[in-house]
Amino acid sequence: MTSCRAQPSAPTGSSDRSPRRAASPGPRARRVARPAAYADADLDGLFTYCLSVMCEHDAAIAALGEALALAERQQERGRRPEAPGVARSWLYALVRWCCLRRLTLQRERGVGAGPRAVGEDAQRRRELAMLAWPEAAGTTHEQREALELAVRHRLTPAEVARVLRLTDQAARALLTTATCEVERTTAALAAVDSAHCPAMATLSGDDRRVLLGPTLRRELVRHVDECPACRLVAQRAMAGLGWPGTAPAGRARLAVVRAPR
């Protein structure tokens, strides 16, 4: 989902001191009064994000561990945001930063995935397959990253903006254009599923949803645009979804992988 770009500076969250911390008599009391750096309920989503970026379980676990340790250090220094929406986007920004940093180091050092225990491969392949999203095959890297945060992780546009270090307006525009591409792919796949067009069947072949990539997706969408029968199927499939660019976030439910405990 994510490619290596210039590393963002590590998010620190809010530096404001809460009234509870200000009134505490000493460091020990302050530590007790503070909320936890993260909740157990956050772990599955954060691990899933790391796995989608790193594409390998051990690397994802290491990135998540680094991010959680960083969150705890920031928490001890009183730098954890306290507003729920801000705290959640802060955690995702931390794991994103750790993943990008590790990907950059891997590329520079030429380090690949290390050995793992026999018997883990099948389970890990199943979990990676859970992250597949054929309808997003036509999105750019930036669009896919924003969509994953909004749809799979259920972040609001404002939270997506904070994670990706965008303005709210830029994040909303990115999500809208990305959603339009998902809708076009969804319509094309509906035409494929109808199995009424021999030309479409030739293009799609077998097991199309697993193997759908940008090139095949582009050919399918082009065919739908040019074929009256497939275009009619696609229009019927997308009828009633409202204004273009608004459907998937409210409809799609994407899998989240359970984090190792």
Q: Give the Å distances, CA to CA, from 246 to 161, 164, 235, 238.
A: 17, 20, 16, 11
Does pTM surpass 0.85? Answer: no
Q: Are 200 and 192 in contact (CB under 8 A)?
A: yes
pLDDT tens-digit series, residues 163-201:
999 999 999 999 999 999 998 888 888 888 776 788 777
Q: Tell me the C-alpha distance between 209 and 3, whole Å.
A: 23
Chain-centre distance of CA 11, in angstroms? 18
State the pLDDT confidence band at 149, using cuts at 50, 70 and 90.
Answer: very high
State the pLDDT confidence band at 114, using cuts at 50, 70 and 90.
Answer: low
Q: Tell me the C-alpha distance between 177 and 114, whole Å.
A: 38
What residues contact residue 34 under an 8 Å CB cut-off, 6+ apart? 20, 21, 75, 78, 80
Chain-centre distance of CA 88, in angstroms? 14
Domain ranges of the chain: 1-130, 180-251
- Is the pLDDT higher at 6 or at 65? 65
Q: Given phi > 0 = left and psi -120 to 50 = alpha, else beta, which region is 260?
A: beta
Q: Is the dihedral of CA 260, 57, 128, 137 positive or negative?
A: positive
